[in-house]
Amino acid sequence: MTRHLDLGKVKQAWSLRRQGKQQKEVADTLGLSLRHIQNYLSVDWLAQRSLRALMKGGAEEVNEQLKALGGLGEAGPVDGVSQPVTGAQASCASPDQWPDVARLEGWGVPKYTAPGLLSAWRRAHREEAHELCDFWVDLTGNVQADIPFPDAYDLAMARWLAHRWGVDFLSTITELYQLYRPWEGKVHRKVYLDEVRVAIGEGPGNYPSDQVGGIFEGLPRRFLRGLPRRFGQYGQFSKDDDDD
C-alpha cells in the first residue's frame, strides 16, 4: 500500500540539494535511505506518484502534492536558473460548464482516472487554487489534441512547472515535445532529440553545461529517452513505486 508522502521531507531534500549537497549527504542529514532521496528529488517520481493517487480518486492528496511540487522552485534559483513565477492568478481558465466524466473519457482520459481528475479540478477551483486549475485545463487540452494520457500528463506537469519555476529552458523542451510528437514513431523521436540537442548546447542559444544538470534532474523519462547518458542519469526513478 502506498503510504502518505511526507511533503515536508521532500521540501527539505530539495532545499539541501539546492545548497549543493550530494544525494548521500542529503540522505544522511534527513535520516532517510538514498533511494528515498533519489525519489524525492525526482520530478518524474513525484509526478507518477500523484498520477497513481489520481487513479484511486485521491483528489485532495493530488492537489496537495501539486501545491508542494509547484513550490519546490520558489526557494531560489537552481544552478543559475531564473526565479520562478509566483503570486495569485488574476483569472481562471476553467470552463463555466464542467465536462462530465463521460466527456473526459471521450477526450481520452482513462475511465479509471476521469472521476479523480474532475474532482481534483473542481476542488482546486472551489478553493480558488487557480494555479492548479491551469494544470488541469492544460492536461485536458493535451488529451483533446490526441496525446496519449501518460504523455499528456507528463507534458502538462513539465509545462506547469516551467511556468511556476520560471525555467524557460524547460518550456522549450515541452514545446518541442508537443510539436514533434515523439511517441508517434522512431523518426518523430529522432527529429525531436536532434532539436533538443541543439537547445542544450550544440547550437545557437545554448545553455551552460553547469545548468543542464539541474534542469534535467528528475525530469520525466519520456523527455530524455534517447539522449546521451549524461542527460538521463539524474534523479533515477525507483521501480519500487510504493516506497515513500
Q: Where are the domains of the chain?
A: 42-231
In the chain, where does DSSP find H-type helix? Answer: 7-18, 23-30, 34-40, 43-55, 59-71, 101-107, 114-126, 130-144, 149-165, 168-180, 186-197, 209-216, 221-224
Do 49 and 5 form a contact (C-beta atoms < 8 A)? yes
Provide the mean pLDDT of the chain.
77
Confidence check: pLDDT of 11 > 70: yes
Model confidence over 141-191: pLDDT tens digits? 999 999 999 899 989 988 888 887 777 777 888 899 999 999 999 999 999
Task: Specify the pLDDT at position 84.
Answer: 42
Confidence check: pLDDT of 237 > 70: no
- Separation CA 85–CA 58 (nearest Å): 27
Residue 3 binned pLDDT confidence (cut-offs 50, 70, 90): low
Mean pLDDT (whole number) for 100-120: 92
Confidence check: pLDDT of 194 > 60: yes
Confidence check: pLDDT of 212 > 70: no
